[in-house]
Amino acid sequence: MPYKKPEIEKIYYSVGEVSEMFGLNPSHIRYWEQQFDALKPFKNKKGNRLFTKDDIETIRLINHLVKDRGLTIKGAQKKLKDNREDTLNNYEIVKKLQDIKQELVEISQNLDNE
């Protein structure tokens, strides 16, 4: 049986890595950090921001509210503060529906090619 190298997951991500994940400028992430209480990354002794998986999910949710749904910063703050659970559930439902749509488009394209 061949040796299977274990996958190593990162615990912390830099602001540069996070900004690349979402196609945003690092300054955008830093601005959101000031505006949203839910986003508080760990800072090391040098002051570098280190984001956890939970922080990345919060950024994903903020990005969805501001960029995809077109809410203002104030609207997104209110949405996260008032009913974060409902907002998160709605985001997950939309994401699953988008994935299903993408699969159906690929199936349709494959059928057209045959």
According to CATH, the topology of domain 13-82 is Multidrug-efflux Transporter Regulator; Chain: A; Domain 2 (1.10.1660)
pLDDT in tens, 75-97: 888 888 887 777 777 778 888 88
* Helix (H) / strand (E) containing 49: strand 49-51
Angle between helices 15-22 and 26-35 (to 10 degrees): 100
Instruction: Tell which residue, 15, 33, 28, has the closest CA to residue 77.
Output: 33
pLDDT in tens, 2-55: 667 666 678 889 999 999 999 999 999 999 999 998 899 999 999 899 999 999
Reported pTM: 0.72
Take residue 42 and report the two structure tokens written for it.
Answer: 């760990």
Take residue 86 and report the two structure tokens written for it.
Answer: 């409902």
